[in-house]
Amino acid sequence: MKTRAWFPAFARGLSGWTGRASTFALAVGLVVAWALTGPIFGYSDTWQLVINTATTVVTFLMVFLIQNTQNRDTQAMHIKLDEIIRATQGSHNAILDLEEMDEEELAAQHARYLALAEQAREALKRGGQDVDCPELEAVREGLRKAG
C-alpha cells in the first residue's frame, strides 16, 4: 500500500475543519469573549496584543493552508479537464498542458480560439451552425486573413 506524505493529508483535514460553520462560530465566540474581557483588563496594550498576535499567527498559517488546498484543487481540475479533452473525439490534444506554456504560447492559443469564436459567430449570422469541430489549421488560416 502506498503511503501518503503527511502534509497533504493534514492540510486536507484542517481545511475541512476550518471551513465548517461550527469553526466559524468558535472563532466568533473567541472574539466576543476577548471583547468582553476588555473592561476586566482595562483595554490594556497587552489585552489588544493578545488578539492582534493570535489573528496574525492564524492568518499567516492559513495562507499556506489555503495555497496548498488551492494548488491541489487546481491540479486536480487540470487533470480532469485534460482527460475530457483527451477523451473527446475531434478535440485538440495540443492544448492539454496549457498551464505549462509560456506567455507567448498562451497568447497564440488564445488568439486561435478567439478566431474560432469569431468564425462561429459569423456562421450563425449567415444562418449556419456553430457546433462543428474545425481543425486548428483552419483557425490559423482565418487568423492570417484577419491579421
Q: Which whole number is the average pLDDT over 18-40?
A: 96
C-alpha distances in angstroms, 130 versus 6, 31, 90, 115, 138?
49, 56, 15, 13, 14
Cα–Cα distance for residue pair 147/143, rounded to 1 Å: 6
Write the CB contacts of 93 (distance below 8 Å, at least 6 apart in sequence): 85, 86
Whether the pLDDT of residue 36 is over 80: the answer is yes
Burial 117-129 (b: 16+ CB within 10 A, else e): eebbeeeeeeeee
Cell digits for 35? Answer: 471583547
Report for 55-59, 78-82, 83-87, 130-134: range of highest mean pLDDT: 55-59
Cα–Cα distance for residue pair 14/17, rounded to 1 Å: 5
Domain segments of the chain as ranges: 6-87, 101-146
Whether the pLDDT of residue 31 is over 60: the answer is yes
98-115 pLDDT, tens digit per residue, is 888 899 999 988 998 898
DSSP state of 7: H
Lowest-confidence region among 2-16, 78-92, 110-124, 126-140: 126-140
Distance of CA 14 to the CA centre of its chain: 19
| Confidence band, pLDDT 50/70/90 cuts, at residue 44 | very high
Q: One-letter amino acid identity for 14?
A: L
Mean pLDDT, all residues of the chain: 87
